[in-house]
Structure 1
């Protein structure tokens, strides 16, 4: 049996993390939330974790029949028959004409008698873990708030010294905010649902209080899966500092590596920004392919493109990614922003880095990530912690962002350039009646980089980066001017002319 105040695992993945080790034992806790937020599921996981640890447990149900609880457990693949359940709800005989104005048996109408029955069941079972579901039924039995509070205080005194950790469920159907109950409980956990105009409901959990204990404050995303409730703790990058070798990652394209001053430093983030179709994803794929070919695990999170299309595009550029995927050094994950919360997405990246030792992460694109967020402010906060975490782990992160427009002045959904260590800009431009592409490194926090523009081409089934476009001005405007001594069509005659004209 756990000692008083000893941390008890809740059985809910991620919840013990934000509780800094679990719930202090021997106390009363309030788990509140609207109907459908997963309170009963968490309560089941809490008791099943006690069963796994050979602890006596008890479920006191005032709202749901035992049969419904069993069916709910079956939907998650759990054997709930190992958990003792005591019902405080009427049977068929109690619904006669003389008793039609109450949902409780006549002997249980008074709150005090119900408390007495609950106390007797606890005395008999002597559980280490106890669930009371739900306090809304007790509130209905109370004549007034004063009596309700006094009975709850009496219940708290009853459990004091018994080494029983009590989880009280409340669906907030009365007034939505029971301050009396929150003040009595040792800790308060709140579950919330946030409606979205499209896609799945976003769920968040918050620890409102935990007396005498530290916990991770703020909102944390969670979901209800077949495995039960899974919490995705808010990422705090400062908690994940580590050491790594400060080398550079190369692309396998010498001219592109020259732009970056030799390569992209490990533990840095690079923003690849430009209009749609300008080659952003192809360049990111080139880096991921090269890293995976050298035995370092790389992963691409695709928001905007079907994986089959991305693989076919890579193979069309001479990047045979399928053997690397089969070998496990390259992974590609399809992300649906309508089905995934930001917290769950960041948790997936964290697991890939910490558990699978991933060294290069591609997010394609930030536009898709933005669509999964409730607001731009949250996006920037999530990205700030994510990039700081990846940098401290020595991971190279490539972030793709599509700008609105094709040539000339362009706009992005949100400015994230200041969060990135390096910015690679891609642009379309027109010359000799043909649409071409250029790229340049605008910013690099660590080390030197070229301040030139180079042409990007896709020919001969591969990505090619040309020489610096030194004889042209206004390339970023979309309509460049040739500044050489002779017309480019007949007089350049150099590798630069061939690069620029694509001949």
Structure 2
């Protein structure tokens, strides 16, 4: 017989636990002061009350009035719940609690039967050392408390402050589920909260550390990875793969008919090459077809975006007002990679867009705690996007205007379906834009390096660059008469070099691998 699951009161934590805690088990949450242990415990108690399971809070230090005051910051009226007979907050000592639990018909038995309590929060078990200081006896005491709760069918949530840097080994052995909260310094100036499920006896769970936040609603947990992609049940996604227009007819021709539905596209280029312009045309075409579109912006506010679009001859004001176009501004500071994934999943579930733009996706490198977590975030993001069926265009900034051309930061180019590169080229004292399709999964495409024209006639795709070479590498020069056109590849990732070579087949051009930035210009 399967043990029933009970909700923790925090959706992200339930996802890490693959459905919630096991009913009747013992849970230990450990962390430094201020990491959110008591708040998480109150979520657990309030979730039970919402499901018709009254709860008990046992405190060894704080008066009930302090709980009333602190809980009101999250909109929780604990005093009213006590008046309604659905909650009881009891301040006592470990000695008295132990005595009452051992005595049949004692105070704890009476409270349990009067309320019909099924959940209890004990805050905190650090005070057990006041009874016995040696760890062996403390472990026996905690086992005594846990077994007492289990005999009455109560799920217990125990809180403990971390003492030093070591894990509480006796606590981990005694309880069924062990969670740890930390508050780590990242990038030398910012702290972020992390939660980890170390142990969940009798159930599978998601491993690793995951960001969480404490806001006006309490605790929110942002799973970094899940065993299966989150299904957001997109609307109007055809069962068969079809083409969707990029919004620029010449680019559709280069793509062999447009993007595929549900694809994730990377549009990479230096500043001023037209990335946002192409993204706006992509959205405008979707709106013209009656689709719902979402624009995640790190740089453009809604008003600025409208002005930018209007300068291109695109009027998005009506769609924005009718909420067929939703602009979501993501702060580039003070947000974790896990929180971004949470916002993305929520917007896909609530809005169910057919087209999505993230401009620029490279901001994830700035907010990630490490290159490793940045890569995990990209992986989780692409899985989520593919599961939703939304066609997504991600812009990415290539910082160098000239010189070393490096596309493959965080290996994002290997995760997406289509890669388009934009470059600037100085030709005869003027700056011109170039566009090339590096990769398109599942389809043939134009392999020429072409001019990208953005003027009062809109966005157009021009002719291939036949008289110049070195544009892709940022070393543009006129081709010598009689010599084949050369495109220099400057990238220190050999896999990226092979990808470019495999995608480019045009007898009019010769690809030359120049290695990394230090050896640029010296073919190898």
TM bucket, shorter chain: 0.7 to 0.9
Q: Which residue of 1 aligns with 2:197?
A: 207
CA separation of 1:385 and 1:65: change in aligned 2, threshold 3 A: same
CA distance in 1, matches of 2:120, 2:230: 35
CA distance in 2, matches of 1:118, 1:364: 59
CA separation of 1:239 and 1:137: change in aligned 2, threshold 3 A: same
Q: Which residue of 2 aligns with 1:467?
A: 463
CA distance in 2, matches of 1:178, 1:32: 8
Q: Which residue of 2 aligns with 1:55?
A: 53
Could you tell me which runs of 5 or more consecutive residues in structure 2 were left unpaired when the two chains were aligned: 82-86, 483-524
What is the CA deviation profile of residues 152-173 of structure 1, one whole-angstrom value per residue up to 9, with x for unaligned ones? Answer: 1222232232110110001113
Moved more, 257-266 or 120-129: 120-129
CA separation of 1:4 and 1:47: change in aligned 2, threshold 3 A: farther
**Deviation, structure 1 residue 197:** 4.1
Q: How does 1:76-225 map to 2 (within 5 A)?
A: 76-81=74-79, 82=81, 83-88=87-92, 112-117=95-100, 120-126=106-112, 127-173=117-163, 176-197=166-187, 201-225=191-215
Q: If the length of structure 2 is used for normalisation, what is the TM-score?
A: 0.82
Q: How does 1:35-434 map to 2 (within 5 A)?
A: 35-81=33-79, 82=81, 83-88=87-92, 112-117=95-100, 120-126=106-112, 127-173=117-163, 176-197=166-187, 201-236=191-226, 238-240=228-230, 244-411=239-406, 413-434=409-430
What is the CA deviation profile of residues 244-301 of structure 1, one whole-angstrom value per residue up to 9, with x for unaligned ones? Answer: 4311121222111111111011122211111111111211121122112212222121
Moved more, 275-284 or 476-485: 476-485
CA distance in 1, matches of 2:294, 2:246: 15
**Deviation, structure 1 residue 112:** 4.3
Could you tell me which runs of 5 or more consecutive residues in structure 1 were left unpaired when the two chains were aligned: 89-107, 486-503
Contact 2:230 2:345 in 1 (8 A): no
CA separation of 1:235 and 1:325: change in aligned 2, threshold 3 A: farther
Contact 1:235 1:385 in 2 (8 A): yes
What is the CA deviation profile of residues 351-406 of structure 1, one whole-angstrom value per residue up to 9, with x for unaligned ones? Answer: 22233212222221132111110111111122122212312332222121111221
Moved more, 66-75 or 231-240: 231-240
Q: Which residue of 2 aligns with 1:98?
A: none
Q: Which residue of 1 aligns with 2:435?
A: 439
Q: Which residue of 2 aligns with 1:481?
A: 478
Indicate the RMSD between aligned Cα atoms, in angstroms: 2.4
CA separation of 1:180 and 1:457: change in aligned 2, threshold 3 A: same
What is the CA deviation profile of residues 455-494 of structure 1, one whole-angstrom value per residue up to 9, with x for unaligned ones? Answer: 2222116222223334544433453426899xxxxxxxxx
CA separation of 1:302 and 1:467: change in aligned 2, threshold 3 A: same
CA separation of 1:414 and 1:230: change in aligned 2, threshold 3 A: closer
What is the CA deviation profile of residues 57-99 of structure 1, one whole-angstrom value per residue up to 9, with x for unaligned ones? Answer: 11001122211111111101111111211112xxxxxxxxxxx
CA distance in 1, matches of 2:447, 2:111: 75
Aligned residues: 462
CA distance in 2, matches of 1:152, 1:357: 48
Secondary structure class of the residue paired with 2:151: coil
Q: If the length of structure 1 is used for normalisation, what is the TM-score?
A: 0.86
**Deviation, structure 1 residue 47:** 1.3
Contact 2:375 2:411 in 1 (8 A): no
Contact 1:404 1:410 in 2 (8 A): no
Contact 1:199 1:338 in 2 (8 A): no
Secondary structure class of the residue paired with 1:201: strand
CA distance in 2, matches of 1:481, 1:386: 42
Contact 2:468 2:476 in 1 (8 A): no
